[in-house]
Amino acid sequence: MTVVINMRDGMDGRKIKIAAKFILEGKLVAFPTETVYGLGADALNEEAARRIFEAKGRPADNPLIVHIADFDDLKKLAREIPDEARLLAEKFWPGPLTVVLPKKEEVPTVTTGGLDTVAVRMPAHPIALALIRASTPIAAPSANISGKPSPTLAEHVIDDFYGKIECIIDGGETKIGVESTVVDLSGEKPTLLRPGGLPLEEIEKVIGEVEIHPAVRGKLVDVARSPGMKYKHYSPNAQVIVVEGPRENVRKKIEELVKEYRKKGLRVGVMATEQYDADEFFHLGTSEEEVARNLFKALRELDKRRVDIIIAEGIEERGLGFAVMNRLRKAAGYRIVWA
């Protein structure tokens, strides 16, 4: 039995205590953050953290992100806190930024995917912060079956986990729609491991140039120092194809592909920023913020409409567009058509 707690109308301290009790008992609670819904457990409880991997079907070497509610909590988790981490925390926490730092022994290696580093962030959502403060630092990857599109609504979590976890907090739709940006500060140079809800441009204004890890561009790695680096992610059941290039060329190519796949008897869905004639269409919005917010919802919705092929319009890699394109390319298994 899964307890679904409705907090769409705002904070409720009594309901937070119910969910916090589950966390403290080593159980799993899905909860909203400003990015996507997280599947949470006590980060310092080895067995509880292991249950996250089991519930998601997540590979054991894919590290979890630990969510905290106060900067002092970082001192309990990280062996070293460099100046860059303090500067970024002062500027962007609470918010969609994760930093990777050398871990303390108290953090189980189950939580860190066997690594000697720990990924930490402070979410900017009142429900998430209240849940952490009422319990403990919470390890929480996205609340989806491993490899599938991340959840931005409690309904998505219910689809994947109802009857499999103890509690789901319904806080309505998430604001940003893509996961946090991950920056590794454990080495000689700050390195971007995953683009996300905080644009890289904003980070570089604070700490200067940040290297981009080759995995961000699709290079295979043996060791995942961050979620999203090594394994298939964000993929619906339908095959996804991303069309990239100049805007006018992209439109023409998408229209050609729709006709081509329809002739083969396939149901075609299109997700884009402008209208297309297809079997199913999902309007992503016009701004990069809207596209990010709607991205995973579109992938899940087109799957529910039982399309065979999803053709996705590529957008510019600026601001949140960098994170959007990273997720789209991964969802497509790097099946990209250049227009």
CB proximity list for 248: less than 8 A, separation 6 or greater: none
Angle between helix 154-161 and helix 288-304 axes, rounded to 10 deg? 40
Binding-site sequence positions: 35, 58, 62, 67, 117, 121, 140, 142, 150, 180, 194, 234
Binding-site sequence positions for ATP: 58, 62, 117, 150, 194, 234
| Of 202, 201, 208, residue with least CA distance to 83 | 208
Coil, strand or helix at 57: coil
* Burial status of residue 243 (CB atoms within 10 A of its CB: 0-12, 13-18, 19 or more): buried
CB proximity list for 315: less than 8 A, separation 6 or greater: 273, 288, 291, 321, 324, 325
H-assigned helices in 34-153: 46-56, 71-77, 83-92, 126-133
Region class of 273: left (phi > 0), else alpha (psi between -120 and 50), else beta: alpha
Binding-site sequence positions for L-threonine: 35, 67, 121, 140, 142, 180
What one-letter code names the amino acid at 163?
A: G
